[in-house]
Structure 1
Amino acid sequence: MAWRDAKASSIRLLLFMASIILGIAAVVSIQLFSTNLRDNIQRQSKTLMGADYRIDTRQIPTERAKAIIDSLQPDASEINFVSMIAFPKNGGSKLVKVRGIEGGFPFYGMINTQPGTAAGIYQESGGALVDATLLLQFDIKPGDSIKIGEITLPIAGALKSIPGSSAFSSSVAPPVVIPLQYIEATKLIQFGSRREYLYYYKTSASLDLKVLEDTIDPLLDIENADLDTHISTSRRLGRRYENVGKFLNLAAFIALLLGCIGIASSVHIYIKEKLKAIAILKCMGASRLQSFLIFLIQISGIGIIGGIIGSLIGVGLQELFPFLLKDFLPFPVEITISFQPIFIGIFLGFFMSVLFALLPLLRTWYVSPLAVLRIDNQLSKEPKKVRFLVFTTILVFLFLFSLWLIKDTVYALIFVAATIVTFAILGGVALFVIKMIRKFFPKRWGFTKRQSLLNLFRPNNQTVVLIVAIGLGTFLISTLYFTKDILLSKTAIGQTSATSNIIVLDVQTEQRDAVAQNIEEKNLPVINNIPLVTMRMHSINGRLVNELRQDTTRQIRGWILQHEFRTTYRDTLIASEELIEGVWTSAQKSGDPVVISISDNLASDANVTVGDPITFNVQGVLMKTTVGSIRKVDWGQLQLNFSIVFPKGVLEQAPQFNVLTTNVSDAESSAKLQRDLVANFPNVTVIDLRQVYTLVEDILEKVSWIINFMAFFSILTGIIVLIGSVRTSKYQRIKESVLLRTLGAKNKQILEISAFEYLFLGFLGSFVGILLALISSACLAVFVFKESFVPSIIPFIVFLPGITLLVVSIGLSNIQTVLRSSPLEVLRREG
């Protein structure tokens, strides 16, 4: 019976199935990609590091740290830093990451070069391996030379890849690999220079790396060093991409949720029309269970087939994600097909179809045989206890499923609560509108307009379902669009003459005036001349840092205890800062205690507040200070921000270096300035924020593409739901339209009635959806991104009319049968 009835209603059931396919496809494709990413990270963890474990420190190793490093007998070592290099052939210059390597690194994976022999001979030949893209950019070939600080080396080969590098990190500072023995000769490592010392180890498989890490790492932490195993590195790398996976999972879940709404709304109307037939079956002896199972089998079949089709589409789609995320991954992702996500997709198709269709399905259980004789349109109602139980089951499932996706109980509860609130608002608006139309019905309006408004609250109306479906789809796409604008605005760099877009780092005190003069000679302004003083914390609230490191019960974050702070001194706040606690001290008076200002995140991590004492070790000199104020710092702005700021009159005589900033109007001026600075001051580092901003924009474009891609899934599923919901109402509307034609209505009048009805539904649903998106985006801007919210007009001028016209088009397509045929012919066919 289920098969026979399904064949007779095949078109409608296909629409139900389409509602679930896209959501399943999104979930399966993302789950498969997440599984592949995790497996690739685990499989390539040694290749990613190039060794079994390593020790790293951002300062010259202390005697105790060096003793530990030497006792473990490193197989290779490295010193790396970021600096400017020059190509004597054409005068080009570029910010790069210089890696001085000694020994047989990497022990796993390989250094990929062109020619292939360059990786094996560069240390003996004294050559440099230079990023291949960089060589193309400056039209340089192996055999040419590269100037690094005070030395010039031949280029042994083009560097295509090396363990530990990703496309993104290479685009910011391309790698240049040289023999370690030449690092000192470059004379680029001076006071204040940022550098990293790395020691690589290859060990036997019998060594327990976790025991080694647990034993040695605490000892190294005290010496401001760190031990990393390939296992811990792969765990951190997995967490790095966790948030991306969480976002994609939630987007897919929203698409799946929309599909379930489509199932629920479509089955609601479908079963509604079958109640007479079910009553007849019961009169002929069919039991409650038999009539229930007929339609349960249908819906289960829809869910299983939809799950299989969606899973197959998802298998194909997951090939797309490695391409989209390749610049964020330090290795190519090998795609393999695992059956777990496919099984989950099929299970979800079945389970969610049945769960969300359960409420209308239960009406087949409670329909009375006497319904055959009744001529009213009253539905058989299931008991309130049953309805409550079904709704509770749906909410519990939503919570458990979202918890499985995002692994956070609070976020899962918030997500489910937000879903309920959104549905409640959309449903409430629909019911309120129905009530208002009934109460204030425009009786003097023309016939067609009155008839279209009557359709909004007559039996078998789709007002609530359509407004919820239209509103939710519009809400999702509009929220994503507004959020993208917020993210882009956070990285906006105003291109004005007062805004710095060139930063010159590591300027020594004796070079400061000469660098400033070099900038000014090119008719460029010196916007900032910022002094930097490096220091470490010696004690916090009277407790020594060395003592705190040993205290496992401390409430201070570990990075505070080993971090080398770069601080400055000035007498004013800057645009990216806001005083939130205490009093700002601009200058230090002689004899008064030193009062500093710290950022809010530092205050939280160090567990200090206004009035607490902190003692710093400034290049071997202890300095007692007191927290005088706490600042809120916008770290998202591409400019120099500081965790710790001293007043003027304290650090002027301390060992320091400077950062100068300027503004250039075009790429040619920037290139000329960088060439001159690198030639005259090889130790300085020049950061062109225009290039950094371009990279940030490129990343955001890719993230936006992914967001829009998943939004496309959600909205396409919403459109399928919309089509299914509107098309389902076709059968009721056809009968009404045929009766109107029988009574003498013209085609134009029937078109107007349908057009006005769907115009109203489409406009109201999309308008409410955009308003909700506006509210949610404003909350995101204020409470999450801490940004002012300037809404885009695009959703109002594109989404609002576009979705409205789509609804009207689908609605008008429903009655084409009526307009093309005679009333009697349509009545016979539909009957």
Structure 2
Amino acid sequence: MAWRDAKASRMRLMLFMASIILGIAAVVSIQLFSQNLTDNIQRHSKSLMGADFTIDSDELPNPRAQAIIDSLKPDASEINFVSMVAFPKNDGTKLVRVRGLQGEFPFYGKLDTEPVAAAISYQALGGALVDATLMLQYNLQAGDSIKIGEITLPLAGALKAIPGNSAVATSVAPLVIIPFRFIEATELLQFGSRKEYRFFFKQPNTDLLRLEEKLQPMLEAENADFDTHTRTSSRLGKRYDNVGSFLNLTAFIALLLGCVGIASSVNIYIKEKIKAIAILKCLGASRKQSFLIFLIQIAGIGILGGIIGTAIGVGLQELFPIVLKEFLPFELTISITSQPLIIGVFLGLVMSVLFALLPLLRTWYVSPLDVLRVSGDTSKQSRKASYVAIAVIVLFLYAFSFWLLKDWLFALAFIVAIMLTFGILSGIAIATMKLVKAYFPKGAGFTTRQSLLNLFRPNNQTIVLLIAIGLGTFLISTLYFTKDILLDKAEIGQTSKSVNLITLDVQPDQVDEVANTFKANDLPVLDNIPLVTMRMHSIKNVLVNTLRTDTTAQVKSWLLNHEFRTTYRANLIDSEEIIAGEWVPNQKTDEIIQVSISDNLAEDANVSLGDSIVFNVQGVLMETVIKSIRKVDWANLQPNFTVLFPSGVLENAPQFYVLTTNAPTEASSAKLQRDLVSKFPNVSVIDLRQMFTVVEDILNKVSWIINFMAFFSILTGIIVLIGSVRTSKYQRIKESVLLRTLGAKNKQILTITALEYLFLGILGSLLGILLALVSSLLLAIFVFEQPFTPSLIPFLVFLPGISLLVLGIGLSNIREVLRSSPLEVLRKSG
């Protein structure tokens, strides 16, 4: 019976199936991708680092640290730092990360260069390897030259890839690799310069876990760090796990949207089958038999949908390496495993049956007397059975979310958020029907009244259409608004007083000359900020060395080895606000120094007003007490500080300077950078306009990926829309034929249908955009702490675009009625 009935309704059942196919495809593809990524990270763990383990320090290792390093016999080493470089060929300048390498690094993986031989020959020939993209930007070729500090080297070739580096990382500061022996000659490593010393080891047979347990505490005490290839791959895996969880949830939402379409379509489908079920019961069919007939149908289309969705998900695997190549530090190798395939078919079956369960329960309570009743649906469903079915659905959704997220609280929050969104959309749909019914415009024209009547007529699709349209619009609009928030957060004000050019590592004897260079280029010196480097020696009278070994200490580990760059001044700036204590502008050196710290430092160091911190200022211990805590707007792209000293204390300490200015045009910025690099090779220049371009580019890449996943939800919403409209097709045909029999013209029927679906399209997309507006506002206030100025794009593009799409789908449903004569259709329905 299930097979016979399914053959008669195959087109409608195919639409049910189509609703879940894309959701399953999205889930399966993400699951397969996550497994492939995990396998690839494990397989490439050594080539990600290029070595078995490393030791690094952001200062020249002291004798004790160097003794430990020498005892392990490093196979290669490097110094890396950020600096300006110049290209004499075209007078170009660029902020880059210079890596001075010695030894045959990498031991695993390879330096990918063009020409290939440059990866080996650059050391012997004394050349530089320059990031391939940078060479294209500046029209450079092998044989051209690069000026790094006080030396000029030939370009040995283009650097395409190196272990442990990604395209996103090099977009901020492209890589330049030179032989280690030239580092000293560059004269770039001045006092205060940010640098990192790294030592690479190739010891494949070493027990890395035992070695780490032994060396890590010893090296931490000497301000150095021990890292292994397994720990590096683990950190990378966790980072991608978070991305995978987000993509999984996006796919899951698409699947849920499809399931809502199934629930609605099956509801109407079962309503139309009530008389057939009543006849079966008159012929002796039991409740169980009538229930199983339709359950088998739904289970069958669920399994078939799962198989098709899984096949599509497998096919999508080829897309992910292309989509995510900018974010992967290695080439992804694709393989197919069985677990996601089983999950796909299982999801197709379970989700279809679960969401069809509520309408299917109606078959259980159909009475044989329904054959004689005029209304085709007088059955009363058991409340207890309905509540049990709803509880089973919610529990399964929570269990599946927990499996995806591996966190019970996040899973609960996700389910609550989904139910809240669905509830709001459903509530507004129900309220709309009630409002239209209560305040029906009886004086309106015939076509307007008929289109509004369709919103609350029997078998209406108002709720499911508003959910499908609203949720799809909500997802894509939220993405758009959130991207705007992030870009606004990084936006640089273009007033004459705003900083957009920062010069770093200016030595005391260079300050006046750098300032004169600014003036020679008709640019003002907006800030002249002294910087003093220091480390924490003790916190609340507990030595930092003790805190490193204390597993119960409530102090974040990053503080214990961090080199703080602090300043002193008598005033606060716009990005700072005192939230606790009292600001001390000036102080004498013979008093206990009263400092101000940022709120995030207070939290991470577990300190408050009145607590003491002893700083090691280049060998001199300086006792301080916390007098105030500041809230700092780190999004403000200007020099901000976690620790701020009053004037009168650090003036005689070894220091260097940061000077800032505003360059009104890119040309003036480029000219200043050329002048500074030629006169002061050790000075680095950060153009905040370029930084903003990098941030925008990264956000665009991320949003492209999210859009790619949101596409599944939107396309699923469209399929649900088509399915919902087509499900009520025969009901519509009968109504339209009756109207035509009573004298209605094709134009009037077309107008009635157009007005109904235009109203649903506008209302659904508007609801989605407004919900996205509210959620984005909450994100801006509570997460990003940023003013929110919504973009008009969703209102100008998404709203009319989706409304017209809904209108087109609705009108396509009425074509058959307009082409057929009333008698022909009435004979078929009879």
- With the shorter chain as reference, the TM-score category is over 0.9
* 1:374 Cα deviation from its structure 2 partner: 1.4
Which residue of structure 1 aligns with residue 295 of structure 2? 296
- The equivalent residue for 1:91 is 91
TM-aligned CA deviation for residue 416 of structure 1: 0.8
Question: Does 2:66 match 1:66?
Answer: yes
| Residue matched to 2:759 | 760
Q: How many residues align?
A: 830
- Deviation of 1:378 (Å): 3.4
Aligned match of 2:659:
660
Match in the other structure for 2:160: 160
User: What residue number does 1:625 align with?
Assistant: 624
Greater shift, 225-234 or 77-86, is seen at 77-86
- Amino acid in the other structure paired with 1:26: A
- 2:274/2:377 contact within 8 Å kept: no
AA matched with 2:315 = G
Report deviation, 1:246: 2.1
Query: Structure 1 residues 640 and 738, CA, compared in 2 at 3 Å: closer, same or farther?
Result: same
For 1:688, the equivalent position in structure 2 comes to: 687
Look up the match of 1:475.
474
The aligned counterpart of 2:638 is 639
Q: 2:271 touches 2:377 (CA, 8 Å); kept in 1?
A: no
Paired position in structure 2 for 1:775: 774
AA partner of residue 62 (structure 2): T
SS in 2 for 1:285: coil
Aligned to 1:16: 16
| Aligned AA (1:195) | K
* Cα distance in 2 between the residues matched to 1:82 and 1:160: 19
Q: Is contact 1:377-1:459 (8 Å) kept?
A: no
Q: 2:328 aligned with 1:324, yes or no?
A: no
Write the distance in 2 (CA, Å) between the matches of 1:132 and 1:766. Answer: 45
**Partner SS for 2:333:** coil
What are the equivalent positions in structure 2 for 1:419-818 lying under 5 Å apart?
A: 419-588=418-587, 592-818=591-817
1:118 to 1:441, Cα distance in 2 relative to 1, 3 A: closer
TM-score (norm 2): 0.96
Contact 1:533 1:566 (C-alpha < 8 Å) held by counterparts? yes
Superposed, which structure 2 residues align to 1:388-403 within 5 Å?
388-403=387-402
Who is 1:52 aligned against? Answer: 52
Instruction: Quote the offset at 1:377 in angstroms.
Output: 4.0
- Deviation of 1:744 (Å): 2.8
1:74-89 aligned within 5 A: 74-89=74-89
* Offset at residue 478 of structure 1 (A): 2.1
Contact 2:275 2:376 in 1 (8 A): no
Deviations 1:450-471 (A, max 9, x none): 3333333332222323222222
1-side partners of 2:140 and 2:814: how far apart? 69
Structure 2 partner of 1:182: 182
Contact in 2 for aligned 1:98/1:178 (Cα 8 Å):
yes
Distance 1:132 1:806, change over 3 A: closer
Report the Cα distance in structure 2 between the residues aligned to 1:315 and 1:637, rounded to whole angstroms. 44
Q: Which residues in structure 2 correspond to 1:260-409 (within 5 Å)?
A: 260-409=259-408
Contact 1:2/1:295 (<8 A) preserved: yes
- Contact 2:145 2:155 survives alignment (8 Å): yes
SS at match of 2:273: helix
> How far does the alpha carbon of each residue in 1:725-750 deviate from its partner, in whole angstroms, 9 at most, with x for none?
12212222221222222233333333
After superposing the two structures, state which structure 1 stretch, 471-480 or 744-753, moved more: 744-753
Corresponding letter in the other structure for 1:775: V
Question: Cα distance, 1:590 vs. partner?
Answer: 6.5
The amino acid of 1:159's aligned partner reads L
Superposed CA offset, 1:574-625 (max 9, x none): 2333332222222225654322121111111000112211111111111121
Distance 1:102 1:819 in 2: 80
Structure 2 vs 1, CA of residues 482 and 144 (structure 1 numbering), >3 Å: closer, same or farther? closer
Code of the aligned partner of 2:352: S
> Distance between the aligned counterparts of 1:52 and 1:739, measured in 2?
80
- C-alpha distance in 1, partners of 2:92/2:621? 44
Given that residues 47 and 109 in structure 1 are in contact (C-alpha distance below 8 angstroms), is that contact kept between their aligned partners in structure 2? Answer: yes
Look up the match of 1:117. 117
* Residue in 2 that maps onto 1:130: 130
Deviates more, 1:603-612 or 1:157-166: 157-166
Q: Check conservation: 2:588, 2:648, Cα contact below 8 A.
A: yes
Greater mean deviation of Cα atoms: 116-125 or 333-342:
116-125
Q: Distance in 2 between matches of 1:775 and 1:160?
A: 44
- Specify the SS of the correspondent of 2:601: helix
Contact 1:272–1:379 at 8 Å: present in 2 too? Answer: no
Residue 235 in structure 1 maps to residue 234 in structure 2: yes
In structure 1, give the amino acid aligned to 2:783. V
- SS of the residue 1:648 aligns to: coil
Measured at CA, do residues 286 and 172 of structure 1 come closer, stay the same or move farther in structure 2, by a change above 3 Å?
same
User: What secondary structure does 2:379 align onto?
Assistant: coil
| CA distance in structure 1 between the aligned counterparts of 2:149 and 2:436, rounded to whole angstroms | 79
CA 1:151 to 1:467, structure 2 compared with 1: closer, same or farther past 3 Å?
closer
CA distance, structure 2, for counterparts of residue 455 and residue 134 of structure 1: 62
- The answer to whether the 8 A contact 2:271-2:376 is kept is no
Secondary structure at 2:640's aligned position in 1? coil
Listed one character per residue, the Cα deviations across residues 246-304 of structure 1 (whole Å, up to 9, x for unaligned) are 22111111111111111111111111111111111122222222222221222122112
Contact kept? 1:674, 1:686, Cα under 8 Å? yes
Relative distance call for 1:275 and 1:531 in structure 2 (3 A) is: same
* AA matched with 2:372: L
Instruction: Report the equivalent of 2:251.
Output: 252
On the 8 A contact 2:272/2:376 being kept in 1, the answer is no
Aligned partners of 1:598 and 1:553: how far apart in 2? 24
Q: Deviations 1:15-36 (Å, cap 9, x if unpaired)?
A: 1111111111211222222222
Tell me the residue number matched to 1:147: 147
Would you say the 8 A contact 1:613–1:626 is kept in 2?
Answer: yes
Match of 1:105 in 2: 105
**Structure 2, unaligned stretches of length 5 or more?**
none
8 Å CA contact retained: 1:528, 1:662 = yes
CA contact (8 A) 2:740 2:822 kept: yes
Aligned mates of 2:519, 2:221 — CA distance in 1: 45
**Change over 3 Å in CA distance of 1:734–1:134 after alignment to 2:** closer
Question: Residue 45 of structure 1 contacts residue 231 of structure 1 at CA under 8 Å; is this kept in 2?
Answer: yes
In 1: Cα distance, 2:678 partner to 2:208 partner: 46
Q: Deviations over 1:404-444 (max 9, x none)?
A: 22222222111111111122222222222333333333334
Aligned mates of 1:145, 1:451 — CA distance in 2: 78
Question: Residues 342, 575 of structure 1: CA spacing in aligned structure 2 closer, same or farther, 3 A cutoff?
Answer: farther
User: Can you list the C-alpha shifts for 1:683-714, whole angstroms capped at 9, x where unaligned?
Assistant: 11112222222111111111121222222221
Deviates more, 1:682-691 or 1:649-658: 682-691
Q: Normalised by the size of structure 1, how large is the TM-score?
A: 0.96
Most deviating of 181-190 and 518-527: 181-190
Alpha-carbon distance between aligned partners in 2 of 1:37 and 1:740, rounded to the nearest angstrom: 59
CA distance, structure 2, for counterparts of residue 19 and residue 776 of structure 1: 27
Query: Alpha-carbon deviation of 1:213?
Result: 1.3
The DSSP-based 3-state class of the residue aligned with 2:621 is: strand
Residue range with higher mean Cα deviation, 132-141 or 710-719: 132-141
- Describe the shift of the 1:316–1:234 C-alpha distance in structure 2 as closer, same or farther (beyond 3 A): same
1:817–1:826: 8 Å Cα contact kept in structure 2? no
- For residues 795 and 176 of structure 2, the distance between their equivalents in structure 1, rounded to whole angstroms, comes to 50
Name the CA shift for 1:155/1:799 in 2 (closer, same or farther; >3 Å): closer
Q: Contact (CA 8 Å) 2:102, 2:180: kept in 1 or not? A: yes
| Structure 1 residue runs without a partner (length 5+) | none
Shift in CA distance, 104/794, structure 1 to aligned 2, threshold 3 Å: closer
Q: SS at the partner of 1:95? A: strand
Q: Is the 8 A contact 1:143 1:154 kept in 2?
A: yes
Residue equivalent to 2:170: 170
Change beyond 3 A, Cα 1:547–1:251: same
